[in-house]
Structure 1
Amino acid sequence: MYIICTYDIKEKRCPKVMKVLRRYMFHVQKSVFEGELTPAKFNELKDKLNKIIEADDSILFYFVYENKKIKKDYLGKEPKPTNIII
């Protein structure tokens, strides 16, 4: 499944969260990652992130399923390219 992850986390925990996310997904913007994950890898990722975040932090996951078509658009500076096109 293709997943887009966004987060709003206290600054002191951001480096730890980013380090974990980079192992699983592509970093496309400051607090946005995306990538293809199996359900097992997604659960592994969530477990690792849960050990870092606190009650006032927020991580959102958006799931893109095969039968849905999404076009990516942007304003301003072009985001970093990924190896996967959605």
Structure 2
Amino acid sequence: MPYFIAVYDVNQNRVGKMLKLFRKYLTWIQNSVFEGELTEVQYQRLRHEANKLIEEGDGVVFYRMRDERYHERHVLGEDKGSPQRFL
């Protein structure tokens, strides 16, 4: 299953909505940064729902990797999130 890192930069008025949306699909790591595995259907749904929330000046970036084995994670300072996903 593909592994994703997603980041967003949106107007302060939409931060809460984006946070809630992204937490439905991925693990919160730090502020507007999320990671985790998604099926193709989940990825398309997340992109569609995020696209409905963004407005001019907002941005969302997805980094897609083949799977979790193809990334290394190094943290400096406090690790605010956990790569483990809880349902």
Specify if TM > 0.5: yes
Shift of 1:64: 1.2
Q: 1:8-57: per-residue Cα shift (whole Å, max 9, x none)?
A: 11110010111111100000100100111011111011111111101210
The alignment's TM-score, normalised by the length of structure 2, stands at 0.87
In structure 2, the CA distance between the partners of 1:19 and 1:70, relative to structure 1 (3 Å rule), is same
In structure 1, the partner of 2:77 is 76
Structure 1's consecutive aligned runs of 4 or more residues displaced over 6 angstroms after TM superposition are none
List alignment gaps of at least 5 residues for structure 2.
none
- Structure with more helix by fraction: 2
Question: What's the C-alpha RMSD, in Å, of the aligned pairs?
Answer: 1.7
Equivalent residue pairs, number: 84
List alignment gaps of at least 5 residues for structure 1.
none
Alpha-carbon separation, structure 1, partners of 2:50 and 2:68? 28
